[in-house]
């Protein structure tokens, strides 16, 4: 079961530090230029979130929520702006993205912001997750690429906080995947549109001693 957690509306009053404002604005302009490019086909599934609001919510989560570990995952990381925010907030940050061009752009974001994160060109859906889809046409489905988890040597239940920006109508699917595959106590943050950030916790133990997620690093297989 996923338990909804209310993000207070006052979260949008949180001060975003001036250097962050500059970085977020620079990322916004880079994304705009990328989307306006005429020499290559558009990546239709890539739409950027309101990064100020996501920053404020992540900062609030960091401050107020008990997390079952320190590993963060962005599903479909695009320019890896949210992954970079997570890294700056001292998460062990990882982003998985299906489009190689976006992985390249994500690497530029990490470099510009001088943060460390792991970016994986792969599929964020765990094996078998497609059976949870209520429609076969959902945008997250049908990416014929290798599993991101396989490449990482991790599973979805190794992450304590997952962020996604589902396409309209797809939020239910993302929730169902998280509910099936995430660890008890882990949290899912979704950007569902302007002023619409939603947060859930998967029911179950949230005692970090019972879920030694950091210790699970040894489960990682060597990367190819
Ligand atoms: C709506 S965009 C969100 C981008 C970014 N996370 C943000 O919040 O600004 C969704 C991204 O997910 C990627 N994507 C969709 N399905 C995927 C999948 N199954 N595996 C990996 N990436 C996927 C798309 O290529 C796209 O970049």
77 Cα: distance to centroid of ligand 1 (angstroms): 6
pLDDT for position 39: 81
pLDDT of residue 219: 55
Ligand 1 site, residue 171, Cβ cutoff 6 A: no
Considering the chain, what is the average pLDDT of its residues?
92
Residue 187 pairs in a beta bridge with 161, 201
Reading the block at residue 124, the tokens are 């964020």
CA distances from 130 to 35, 127, 137, 143, 150 (A): 29, 8, 11, 11, 16
Cα–Cα distance, 48 to 27 (Å, whole number): 10
Please give the pLDDT value at position 223: 47
Determine contact, residues 46/101, Cβ cutoff 8 Å. no
Cβ neighbours of residue 89 under 8 Å, at least 6 residues apart? 58, 59, 62
With 50 as the cut, is the pLDDT of residue 190 above it?
yes
Q: In terms of pTM, does the model score above 0.85?
A: yes
The CB of 3 under 6 Å from ligand 1? The reply is no
Ligand 1 centroid – CA 210 distance (Å): 32
pLDDT (mean) for 136-143? 93
Dump the DSSP string for 92-160: EEEEEES-HHHHHHHHHHHHHHT---EEEESB-SPTTGGGG-S-TT-TTS---S-BHHHHHT--GGG-S
* Substitution candidate for ligand 1 out of 98, 126, 177 with most atoms within 8 A of CB: 98
Residues 6+ apart with CB under 8 A from 131: none
Cα(126) to ligand 1 centroid in Å equals 15
Asked if 86 and 117 count as a contact pair (C-beta separation under 8 A), the reply is: yes
Q: What's the pLDDT tens digit per position in 88-106?
A: 999 999 999 999 999 999 9
Q: Find out whether the beta carbon of 150 lies less than 6 Å from any atom of ligand 1.
A: no
CA-nearest residue, atom 19 of ligand 1: 140
The size of the chain, in residues, is 224
pLDDT band at 187 (very low <50, low <70, confident <90, very high): very high
Does the Cβ of 80 fall within 6 Å of ligand 1?
Answer: no
All domains of the chain in start order, with CATH:
49-126+145-191 (3.40.50.150)
Residue nearest to atom 2 of ligand 1 (CA): 46
Top pLDDT among 33 and 41 is at 33
Return the ligand 1 atom nearest residue 54 CA. Answer: 8
- 78: pLDDT strictly greater than 70: yes
pLDDT, tens digit, 9 for 90 and up, residues 146-165: 999 999 999 999 999 999 99
Q: Across 41-50, 81-90, 201-210, which has the greatest mean pLDDT?
A: 81-90
Burial 34-54 (b: 16+ CB within 10 A, else e): beeeeeeeeeeebebbbbbbb
Taking the C-alpha atoms of residue 187 and residue 137, their distance in angstroms, rounded to an integer, is: 26
């Amino acid at each position: 079961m996923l338990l909804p957690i209310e993000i207070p509306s006052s979260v949008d009053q949180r001060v975003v530090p001036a250097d962050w404002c500059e970085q977020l604005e620079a990322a916004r302009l880079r994304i705009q230029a990328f989307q306006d490019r005429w020499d290559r086909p558009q990546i239709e599934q890539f739409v950027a979130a309101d990064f100020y609001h996501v920053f404020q919510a992540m900062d609030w989560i960091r401050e107020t929520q008990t997390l079952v570990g320190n590993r963060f995952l962005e599903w479909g990381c695009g320019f890896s702006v949210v992954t970079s925010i997570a890294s700056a907030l001292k998460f062990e940050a990882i982003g998985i993205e299906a489009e190689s061009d976006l992985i390249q752009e994500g690497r530029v974001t990490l470099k510009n912001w001088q943060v460390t994160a792991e970016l994986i060109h792969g599929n964020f859906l765990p094996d078998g997750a497609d059976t949870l889809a209520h429609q076969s046409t959902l945008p997250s489905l049908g990416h014929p690429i290798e599993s991101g988890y396989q490449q990482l040597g991790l599973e979805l239940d190794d992450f304590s906080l997952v962020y996604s920006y589902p396409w309209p109508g797809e939020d239910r699917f993302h929730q169902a995947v998280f509910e099936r595959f995430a660890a008890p106590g882990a949290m899912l943050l979704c950007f569902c549109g302007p002023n619409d950030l939603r947060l859930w916790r998967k029911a179950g133990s949230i005692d970090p001693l019972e879920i030694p997620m950091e210790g699970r690093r040894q489960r990682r297989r060597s990367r190819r």
